[in-house]
Chain A
Amino acid sequence: MEIKDFVCTGCALLCDDIGIKTEGNTIEKTYNTCRKGAARIRGDEERMTCTIKGREENIDKAITEAARILSEANKPMIYGLGNSSLEAQKKAIELASKLSAYLDDTSSFCQGPVVEAILEGKVPTCTLDEVRHLADMILFWGSDPASSHPRHLSRFSYFPRGEKRQRGWEENRTAIVIDVRKSDTSEICNKNFYRIPPGSDGELIDALTAALNGKIPKVSFGMSSKEILELANLLKKAEFGTIFAGLGLVYSLPEIEPMIKLIEALNKSSNFHLMPMVGQYNMRGFNHLLFEKTGYINRVKFDGNKVDHGPHCSVMEVLNSGETDAMLIIGSDPLGCFPKSIAEKLKNIPTIVIDPARTFTSMIADVSIPSAYTGTEAAGNAVRMDGEKVEITPFIDSKKLSDEEILKRILEAI
């Protein structure tokens, strides 16, 4: 069977032009996917088994046990959800509200500040299609899409011809990379690659803002005032510019305010936008849903009708302080990616993992419930890195329950 226009859930680009050739439930070939997407579609990871305390059990018992752990806990926490559909995320928010639980996702230590600024209307943003059709200036700041979002440059930002950019990258677009290291993206944009020392992003932002406001810019590292003035002049000449903020930028800035000020300064003469380089395919979807419900994008604690919010509700803080006494982890692997001192706190509390693939966290979890892959096996909706909603239609018949169905059954059991 030939499938056209399948949506890939390998990253937050949600490429919707994927072709797939199948034989029964087996994938023979994928077309137009990057390597990351091809692996995601083939489901190369080892699948997780349904277990209670390491012993294989059926899914009904696992769901009952998960419901028991969560309802007996005083301060449960729900975490993850970047790799779940909007429908599953809605159920998780409902569950957190019912349990008066902490609720947080990966944006809490990822692109949260950028998404928050966009949703609160503090900074202008645009869609990826606008970038393709209109953008003549693209700035990758602390991001390396050639490695993290392989089709970013070819599908939207640099190479394609668009309505007002008929000559694409050759004449109509300029791509600039600001990074602490020589990346694969900087290899392509080597004419406009600015290498800065780690942690000096804020200094360069302030210097660029000063240059744009008619002052002489100065930085403590190896960039001269002339170089900064040239960069500022290059940026302000743009008709339509987009800054793709990567984790390198977000981690380097204690507050996002300097970036907002830079965009304000640029927009006196140009038209600049900010977009987060979201990794997980539906992290931004969770931020949108929670923002609609509570006014916050992450780090919340439900308490009846009240919602508490702040750094003390973040997954790192809650785990580190030992505030929570049970954790439901959906589509994430904290044991694999958190700092050791925090990850080891997971062994002190009962954990429930919902994931299609086996992860380090699932190996130590009290209950592990395997789910279907949203995309190939389960339907749903997701929000792309630019805030556009995309519908996902599966093509494999799977007996596995989706995240949404598992969360619905846990909700019913509580």
Chain B
Amino acid sequence: MASAMEIYQYLPRTNCKECGKSSCMAFAAALLAREVTVDDCPPLKEEKNKENYDILVKLLPPAESASETGMIVHTELCTGCGNCVVACPVNVAEDPYGAGSGKAPTSDKIILRVEDGVVKLSNVESCRRFGPQSRLCSGCIATCPTKAIEFV
């Protein structure tokens, strides 16, 4: 996953403010948070910056694949180990004897489950990162051995 600093390296770094942000660094942070897209930077679309534009498009996975909580599961990295399923505090609260005990889930209310060897999301509104009262829970990220889960 790219950092704001890494993204910044590929921006024009002229602080022209054409995008509406106060500086290129602010635009980089907004890009990382998926508040804006690469196309929102007019100088980046110029021919001389085409190379950097292409790198940035590759660097930032499409936000459409993120859930309402901003969670993205990189399925190509996920091994289906189910660590996140067992560690997720909501899963444990909803299904303590199934998902919370390392066994097959027995509740429909859980957020994370494994299907075809890859983690799938459901009931995202229960996620601790959802909505205005969201908290910075990182149970699923910290337990992922392959860094297949990220929040944007």
Binding site for B on A (CB under 8 A): 4-5, 17-19, 29-39, 132, 146-147, 150-151, 153-156, 159-162, 168-169, 184-185, 187-188
Q: Which one, B100, B118, B146, contacts A184 given CB within 8 A?
A: B146
Residues on the B chain within 8 Å of A36, using CB: 79, 117
Q: Which residue of B lies closest to A40 (CB)?
A: B117
Given contacts A169-B87, A187-B145, contact A159 B114 (CB under 8 A): no
Residues of B in contact, count (CB < 8 Å) = 28
Residues on the A chain within 8 Å of B115, using CB: 29-31
Tell me whether B80 is interfacial, beta carbon within 8 Å: yes
Q: Which residue of B lies closest to A155 (CB)?
A: B102
Residues on the A chain within 8 Å of B116, using CB: 29-30, 33, 38
Residues on the A chain within 8 Å of B102, using CB: 132, 151, 154-156, 159-161
Chosen A-B contacts, 26 in total, with CB atoms closer than 8 Å, are A4-B104, A17-B103, A19-B104, A32-B114, A33-B116, A34-B80, A34-B82, A34-B117, A37-B80, A38-B80, A38-B116, A38-B117, A132-B101, A132-B102, A151-B82, A154-B81, A154-B102, A155-B86, A160-B101, A162-B101, A168-B92, A169-B143, A184-B146, A185-B145, A187-B146, A187-B147
Interface residues of B in 83-107 (CB under 8 A from A): 83, 85-87, 92, 96, 100-105
Give bound CA distance, A18 to B117, whole Å: 11
Residues on the B chain within 8 Å of A168, using CB: 86-87, 92, 100
Residues on the A chain within 8 Å of B104, using CB: 4-5, 17-19, 31-32
Q: Which one, B81, B92, B143, contacts A150 given CB within 8 A?
A: B81
Q: Which one, B79, B86, B87, contacts A34 given CB within 8 A?
A: B79
Given contacts A33-B117, A132-B102, contact A154 B83 (CB under 8 A): yes
Give bound CA distance, A159 to B146, whole Å: 16
Question: Top 5 closest A-B pairs, CB basis?
Answer: A160-B102, A38-B117, A35-B117, A17-B104, A184-B145
Q: Which residue of A lies closest to B105 (CB)?
A: A32
Given contacts A31-B113, A161-B101, A162-B101, contact A188 B79 (CB under 8 A): no
Tell me whether B26 is interfacial, beta carbon within 8 Å: no
Residues on the B chain within 8 Å of A160, using CB: 86, 100-103
B27 CB to nearest A CB, Å: 32
Tell me whether B73 is interfacial, beta carbon within 8 Å: no
Q: Which residue of B lies closest to A152 (CB)?
A: B81
Tell me whether B78 is interfacial, beta carbon within 8 Å: yes
Indicate if the CB atoms of A33 and B86 lie closer than 8 Å.
no
Q: Can you list, as one digit per residue, whether each of B135-152 has a CB less than 8 Å from chain A (1) or not (0)?
A: 000000011011100000
Indicate if the CB atoms of A35 and B80 lie closer than 8 Å.
yes
Give bound CA distance, A153 to B116, whole Å: 19
Indicate if the CB atoms of A39 and B83 lie closer than 8 Å.
no
Give bound CA distance, A146 to B104, whole Å: 18
Give bound CA distance, A34 to B118, whole Å: 7
A150 CB to nearest B CB, Å: 4
Residues on the B chain within 8 Å of A132, using CB: 101-102
B67 CB to nearest A CB, Å: 20
B89 CB to nearest A CB, Å: 9
Q: Which residue of A lies closest to B89 (CB)?
A: A170
Residues on the B chain within 8 Å of A154, using CB: 81-83, 85-87, 102
Give bound CA distance, A38 to B86, whole Å: 19
Residues on the B chain within 8 Å of A18, using CB: 104
Apart from A30-B116, A32-B105: 14 A-B pairs, beta carbons within 8 A: A4-B104, A30-B117, A33-B80, A37-B80, A150-B81, A154-B82, A154-B86, A155-B103, A159-B86, A162-B101, A168-B100, A184-B145, A187-B146, A187-B147
Indicate if the CB atoms of B105 and A159 lie closer than 8 Å.
no
Indicate if the CB atoms of A159 and B117 lie closer than 8 Å.
no
Indicate if the CB atoms of A34 and B83 lie closer than 8 Å.
no
Residues on the A chain within 8 Å of B87, using CB: 154, 159, 168-169
Indicate if the CB atoms of A188 and B83 lie closer than 8 Å.
yes
Give bound CA distance, A151 to B80, whole Å: 8
Q: Which residue of B lies closest to A32 (CB)?
A: B104
Give bound CA distance, A236 to B142, whole Å: 27
Q: Which residue of B lies closest to A19 (CB)?
A: B104
Indicate if the CB atoms of B96 and A161 lie closer than 8 Å.
yes
Q: Which residue of B lies closest to A17 (CB)?
A: B104
Residue from A4, A132, A154, A169 with most neighbouring chain B CB atoms (10 Å):
A154
Residues on the B chain within 8 Å of A37, using CB: 80, 117
B77 CB to nearest A CB, Å: 10
B116 CB to nearest A CB, Å: 5
Give bound CA distance, A5 to B103, whole Å: 10
Indicate if the CB atoms of B82 and A146 lie closer than 8 Å.
no
Give bound CA distance, A154 to B80, whole Å: 10
Residues on the B chain within 8 Å of A151, using CB: 81-82, 102
Given contacts A31-B115, A184-B146, contact A146 B79 (CB under 8 A): yes
Indicate if the CB atoms of B118 and A35 lie closer than 8 Å.
yes
Residues on the A chain within 8 Å of B81, using CB: 34, 146, 150-151, 153-154
